[in-house]
Amino acid sequence: MQPIVDGGPTAPRPLPAAPLTAWHHEDVPTTLAALTTTSDGLSDTVAAERRAQCGLNELHEQQTRRPLLMLLEQFTNVMVLILLAAALLSLFLDKQLEAGAIFAIVGLFALLGFFQEYRAERAIAALKRLSVPHVRAYRNGQLGELSARDLVPGDVILLEAGNLVPADLRIIESVNLRIQEAALTGESLPISKQSEALAQQAVPLAERRNMGYLGTTVSYGRGRAVVVATGMQTELGKIATMLQQVSHAPTPLQQRLDRVGKQLAVAGIVVALLILGLGLVMGESLGAMLLTAISVAVAVIPEGLPAVVTFTLALGGQRMLRRQALIRKLPAVETLGSVTIICSDKTGTLTENRMTVTRLVTTGTMVAQPNGLADHEQGLLLAAGVLCNDAELQPTSDSGAYRILGDPTEGALLVAAANAGLLKAELQQALPRVSELPFDSERKRMTTLHARGGAALDQRLAQVWGQTSFMPAAELLALTKGAVDGLLEVTSQVWVHGQAEVLDEAWRAKILAENSALASNGMRVLGIAFRPLPTETATELVERELIFLGLVAMIDPPRPEVAAAVATCRTAGIRPLMITGDHPLTASYIARELGITQDSMVVTGAELDQAGNAALPELVAHSNVFARVSPEHKLKIVAALRSQGHVVAMTGDGVNDAPALKQADIGVAMGITGTDVAREASDMVLRDDNFTTIVAAVEEGRVIYDNLRRFVKFAVAGNIGKVAVMLLWPLLISLSGLPSTTMVALLPLQLLWLNLMTDGLLGLSMGFEPAERSVMQRPPHRPSDGIFAGGMAWQTIWVGMVIGLLSLGAGGWYYWQGLSQWQTVMVTSLAFLQVFQALGTRSTSASLWSIGIFSNRVMWGIIVLVVGLQLLAIYTPLSIFLGMQALTLFDLLLCIGLGVLLLGAIEGAKALR
């Protein structure tokens, strides 16, 4: 092993001054030397120095919105523009005070909008940072994990199928390594990679077979590579147009709310014209009426809407993160709320992914938990399982405890073998691996090719296996493990008591029956086979004419919390489906344990293939369990379900799952066991790989949708109330025959003031509303449903009318009494009415008492603020700006009393419903 390049703090360790650019043309030692590194990577100290020199390994996003720009954007909002027009008009009409106040309020709204958006943006950026892939790299001579952002030139990393290539790399070791470079070169087929230098210097990117480039993905095999360029120095970084762009496209809900906003704006203009006409007819001055009309238009529009939506979605994303669901695409937050089907993998998501070998079944005998090497055939079975294996057992303490690195299925084999005295290191010395055909979920098996370590080691083999005769003159030995059904298709003989027999129908039936018996008890079963190969054989010809050795069965217990989550899905109108590569009987057993299915109906991948496109919808409509499927079947299942109008969440972890994840409404990737490629394709990542987390995220999605509807209901009803006051006041005055000092109920500034407190502040607190108890006891909302679906339109209108009439009644009564504070009473009652309306809007069906009056603390904080602001507006010099007067205690109590009355009406209506 070469020393690590770390000569202490004073030693020179520069990055090459003039970095080589034709890395593909240099051989591995020259490359490593040029980068002042070794095949064991850098030390932390050197890496830190290089990072200081080259910066983090990330692309600068040109699209990131600068805060100043975000603030300026607030002033491009139509509603703000209308307000600014009103302010200019005031100036024109020589009302400096009003103009100044409107400017101040515009500024406040803009600031409020800015802060909400800024927080939202930061929350989204934080979520994005969490999605940065981790890389397996050598530092200080040790293999460890680090964030791809921390890579520097000279780092040596490991690559395996499913990894994103995290920087520009020179390959230094390749085992069937293939990289999919379509994103960079347009070449759709994966390119085989090797480590030898290329003779030519001028070679296009697409043909540099010993390089890997940022932005591409490893589709097969594994390898080792040294980082030659990071961040903006990479080929991808140099192509500005290909930079990752942050998408600011609005989500479907945002679009729908935008439409609602526009409709309200139109309504506002119509109402404003009405008021203008009415005022003029009643003899008001054109100037005053113009200003009033503009203010009314503004009062109708819920200014806070866009900011509240962005903010609520981002806040929801953070809440989901706390429940282990990492949102990668913001629209997912709202789509989750309407999910009707969750398609889940079995292993690791529904089960614990903690495999334990419980049965070894050789062709001759069937013995319980292996204990010592009673039977050489068992030893042979285990040894083959250990050699055809990429996992490692890593000791965690001196007491003999260990941890499995790698695939749990393979780890279970290592543990069982170690318990029987067979250690991987020893076996590997005797039979070193020379090549391999990695596992993939289509073939559902893997094969390794081994050479003989030498005559001395043959003796050890003989001890273990009793004989080495199974590889008589063989140069090479192929070992295969995988799904039994598929394995038998490439097997022609059976190894019985040291002899190969023909695999006839009787044997086949016996093996399959044994396999079914194990699987129907929920066990995962692997078949193991071998083949002596006299000479080197093309890898694609290796997996045929194998000799069957036996079966290994392991249990993987269901996660204890999943059954409850499945039950929650049922009450929430969501159908959970299991889609697994495992045996149908294993799948069916686990699905029944978890309540995913009651019957034993299982559809297999083969049946999906036979069914054809016409019969597919029927199959997916009736079965909850799909077994022996490959990733392309997942794609078929998603497509069929979506064609039936379902909103589908689908989990996946492998490279080949990416298309299905993209096609699903919500692609869900695994945070622990998933590949980078699957994560890149997903909308959401489960940080704990747990099915329960999907259900939790769906619940949060529903809460967010509820809260946004709540805000719309609250804001629109409040605005209806204000418009009613403005429209009905002139009628009331002229019908009552009272002397008409003014036809204008509320001054423009008062309306703006009210909007600031209600839409701006109270509305915000709706985003903090905790889940309603019934949230997972009702069916999902249909994505096609409008915002006001389910009777909400009617509720909004009547609450709005009651608000308007109560305030109008109070103001009218004061006016009739000749009391000058009539207008202040109307403004204050509207403010207090909306405070109580906010409390009543907290739940659609449950009473305020049952959900806990104080359970939304943020709302109470904001209520205190709003009441405080209103008191300031009445009792401080602010009142001069707002045209208000001091109220008596009785006046205040009256305003509060009206609010209580409204709350009573809202709660009464809930009780009636």
Enumerate binding residues for ligand ATP (CB under 6 A). 345-348, 407, 409-410, 439, 441, 444-446, 481-483, 524, 526, 580-583
CB of 484 to ligand ATP, least distance (A): 7
CB atoms within 10 A of CB 605: 21
- Is 94 noted as a catalytic residue in this protein? no
The residue (of 258 and 593) whose beta carbon lies closer to ligand ATP is: 593
DSSP secondary structure letters along 732-790: HHHHHT---S-S-SS-HHHHHHHHIIIIIIIGGGGGGPPPPGGGGSSPPPPTTS-TTTT
What are the Cα distances from residue 457, in Å, to 427, 431, 697? 9, 8, 55
DSSP secondary structure letters along 520-537: TTT-EEEEEEEEEESS--
Return phi, psi of residue 532, to 5°: -75, 135
CB of 674 to ligand ATP, least distance (A): 10
CB atoms within 10 A of CB 201: 10
For residue 684 the two structure tokens come to 């959401």
CB of 477 to ligand ATP, least distance (A): 17
CB of 481 to ligand ATP, least distance (A): 5
Three-state secondary structure call for residue 670: strand
CB of 48 to ligand ATP, least distance (A): 37
Distance separating alpha carbons of residues 303 and 110, to the nearest angstrom = 10
Q: What is the 3-state secondary structure (H, E, C) of 649-667?
A: EEEECCHHHHHHHHHCCEE
The helix or strand, by DSSP H or E, that contains position 622, with its residue range, turns out to be: helix 605-622
CB of 661 to ligand ATP, least distance (A): 13
CB of 427 to ligand ATP, least distance (A): 17
CB of 351 to ligand ATP, least distance (A): 8
The active-site residue out of 168, 345, 407, 657 is 345
Look at residues 671, 705, 709, 675 and name the one whose alpha carbon lies nearest to residue 327.
671
The residue (of 190 and 482) whose beta carbon lies closer to ligand ATP is: 482
DSSP secondary structure letters along 103-140: HHHHHHHHHHHHHHHHHHHHHHHHHHHHTPPEEEEEET
The residue (of 147 and 516) whose beta carbon lies closer to ligand ATP is: 516
Q: Yes or no: say if 153 and 168 are a contact pair by the CB < 8 Å rule.
A: no
The residue (of 264 and 565) whose beta carbon lies closer to ligand ATP is: 565
The residue (of 311 and 439) whose beta carbon lies closer to ligand ATP is: 439
Tokens 């992914």 belong to which residue? 353
CB of 438 to ligand ATP, least distance (A): 9
The residue (of 441 and 520) whose beta carbon lies closer to ligand ATP is: 441
103: Cβ–Cβ under 8 A, 6 or more apart, which residues? 84, 87
The residue (of 548 and 729) whose beta carbon lies closer to ligand ATP is: 548
Q: Yes or no: say if 518 and 524 are a contact pair by the CB < 8 Å rule.
A: no
115: Cβ–Cβ under 8 A, 6 or more apart, which residues? none
- Please count the CA atoms within 13 angstroms of the CA of 761 that sit on its side-chain side: 23
The residue (of 490 and 808) whose beta carbon lies closer to ligand ATP is: 490
CB of 624 to ligand ATP, least distance (A): 14
The residue (of 306 and 605) whose beta carbon lies closer to ligand ATP is: 605
CB of 573 to ligand ATP, least distance (A): 25
Look at residues 786, 773, 777 and name the one whose alpha carbon lies nearest to residue 850.
773
Three-state secondary structure call for residue 255: helix
The residue (of 321 and 655) whose beta carbon lies closer to ligand ATP is: 655
Distance separating alpha carbons of residues 166 and 24, to the nearest angstrom = 18
CB of 669 to ligand ATP, least distance (A): 12
Distance separating alpha carbons of residues 306 and 747, to the nearest angstrom = 26
CB of 409 to ligand ATP, least distance (A): 4
Look at residues 398, 404, 397, 450 and name the one whose alpha carbon lies nearest to residue 428.
450
Return phi, psi of residue 480, to 5°: -125, 140
The residue (of 213 and 439) whose beta carbon lies closer to ligand ATP is: 439
Distance separating alpha carbons of residues 718 and 832, to the nearest angstrom = 11
The residue (of 483 and 566) whose beta carbon lies closer to ligand ATP is: 483
Characterise 59 by phi-psi region: left (phi > 0), alpha (psi -120 to 50), beta (else).
beta
The residue (of 342 and 866) whose beta carbon lies closer to ligand ATP is: 342
How buried is residue 54: exposed, middle or buried, by Cβ count under 10 Å (0-12/13-18/19+)? middle
Distance separating alpha carbons of residues 31 and 48, to the nearest angstrom = 21
For residue 773 the two structure tokens come to 């108890």
The number of helices, as runs of H, and strands, as runs of E, in the chain is 31, 26
Distance separating alpha carbons of residues 302 and 420, to the nearest angstrom = 72
Nearest residue to ligand ATP, using CB? Answer: 581
Q: What is the 3-state secondary structure (H, E, C) of 296-316?
A: HHHHHCCCCHHHHHHHHHHHH
Catalytic annotation, residues = 345
